[in-house]
Chains A and B, each alone.
Chain A
C-alpha cells in the first residue's frame, strides 16, 4: 500500500452527478448478517455481501479490535453510525443520490496477514465493485 501511495494518489473522477450516482458501502467495520459466518476475531481477510434492502435488525458486528479501541456500543444500537444503509436510502428517496447499490461489501479490518489483505483481498473486492453497477463507493472503517 505504501508503494502505491508514494507513487501516486489513485484518484478516479466521477462520471456523473451525485444525484445520478448509485452508491455502495465498502466497510471494514466488521458488519455482517446474523445468518452469515462471523468474522474470525483472530484475524480475517474474507468479506461478506450485504444486500441493499437489508433489514438493519438482521445485522451484527464481529471485530477483533478491543472494545476500548473500537467502541461498538453505539453501532449495536444503531448500525448507521458505521454502516449508514438507512441514511443512504433516505438520500435516494430525497433525490440527493441516484440510488443505493443492491450489494454492499463488508470486511473486518483486523488481519495478521496484511500482505494478503493488500495483494488479494482488496483487489478482489475492488474487482467485484467495478463489475457491479456501482458509480461510487462510501468507505467506512468503524
Chain B
C-alpha cells in the first residue's frame, strides 16, 4: 500500500500527539469545534488552512504536532 500524504489540524494536541501523526498543526489556543477559527472569519480560516497544507512542502518532523500562533482568534 503506497499510502496517501495527510496533514491534521487538531485542537487537542495531547490526544493527537499520542497517535504520532505524520504531519499535524495545533492552532494555539483554539478550542474543540473551532479547528480553523470562528464563523465568518475567512482570513483566519484561510491562514490556518494554508499553513496546514504548507506542511506537505516543509520539513516536518513526522510524529510531532506543531503548535502555531494565529492572530484574530476570538472564541
Contacts and interface: CB of A to CB of B under 8 A. Distances in A.
A14 B59 CA distance: 12
A9 B62 contact: yes
Range class of the A interface residue count: 35 or more
A124 interface: no
Contacts of B50: 91, 96
A84 B32 CA distance: 15
Contacts, number: 133
A50 interface: no
B4 A84 contact: no
| Interface residue SS majority, chain B | loop
Interface string B9-53: 111100010111110000000011111111110100110011011
A78 B22 contact: no
B72 interface: no
